[in-house]
Copies of this chain bind each other. A is one copy, B any other.
Amino acid sequence: MSILVLGTVALDTVKTPFGVRKNILGGSAVHFAMSARFFSRVNLVAIVGEDFPEKHTEFFKKKQIVLTSLIRSRGSTFHWEGEYQGDLNTALTHKTELGVLSAFAPQVHHSQRKIEYIFLANVDPDIQKKLLENMHAPKFVGLDSMNYWIKHKRASLLRLLKEVDIYVANDAEAREISGESNLLKAARYIRKIGPDMVLIKKGEHGVLFYCDKFLFSLPAYPTDKVIDPTGAGDTFAGAFMGYLSKVKSINERSLKRAIMYGTILASFNVEGFGTERTASLSPNEIAKRLKHFERIIRPN
């Protein structure tokens, strides 16, 4: 089983009530990969600058991430600086330096073009579209985006939505793209204009999954140990897509299971800065927490 993810590799500076970390490894594709790797062979399509530390490349290799389509280019690695206050629900962005990302033209190595499970993490929808055109046999394509693209590249995003199987959005994005404040209405709207499935992530409030055949609502894993929520959504998507690429079957049972794993992996991600917690995670810890979670949500 293999999965391909297009997204960012970043050097993040993050401040939360629990401390500050400077230039730590981050980015959507990284958080996705750190989670998906428990289920599938992860192929990274991304770009880094000359300043990208060799130790991070070694770290990827150690985690069995396939780097064939990771471009190293002249310039600086994408840099994000942000802060979380109070209950850590909202990120305050202090700085975004695109660096090499501003001229990113993803190249998928021919050996990777037959990969069937594809996730387009948050980058310019035109770049996401180009990546998709590179692929020979997409079977299940997931798409993430963000408010910036919804606002500034709406037409591109709407076109792309018709070509993917699932749109993975957070609640604010689902509301923004649909113009509906009620999430069920938002999900229905998105389904109507595009993908067969819509997955709305509500942070600490869990997720809502919508498709024609069934609805699925799942709370988050209750935790009081939120250190740094950066990348929780991508970590969710990584386990969700990774699990589906492992079982190679898309049905109510597998989708719900994938959402359960997404929830569990995301709950680990927030327990440490950057990839600290997901990088050191063991399959045994995942299995144990999943079991605990199953009891917490069991209605009988």
Residues of A within 8 A of B (CB): 86-87, 181-185, 188, 202, 205-206, 208, 214-220, 222-224, 226, 253, 256-257, 260, 294-300
A217 to B216, CA, bound (A): 15
Asked, given contacts A205-B205, A222-B208, whether A217 binds B184 with beta carbons under 8 Å apart, the answer is: no
Nearest B residue to A260 via CB reads B299
A296 touches B215 (CB 8 A): yes
A300 touches B184 (CB 8 A): no
Minimum CB–CB distance for A197 against chain B, Å: 15
Additional A-B contact list (14), CB under 8 Å, known A185-B224, A188-B224, A217-B220: A182-B224, A205-B205, A208-B219, A214-B295, A214-B296, A215-B222, A216-B297, A217-B296, A218-B297, A218-B299, A256-B298, A256-B299, A260-B299, A297-B299
**Which of A181, A256, A257, A299 has the most chain B CB within a 10 Å cutoff?**
A299
Copies of this chain held together in the complex = 2
A257 to B298, CA, bound (A): 10
Chain B residues whose C-beta falls within 8 Å of the C-beta of A297 in the assembled complex:
216-218, 297, 299
Chain B residues whose C-beta falls within 8 Å of the C-beta of A202 in the assembled complex:
205
A256 to B298, CA, bound (A): 8
A181 touches B300 (CB 8 A): no
B86 touches A253 (CB 8 A): no
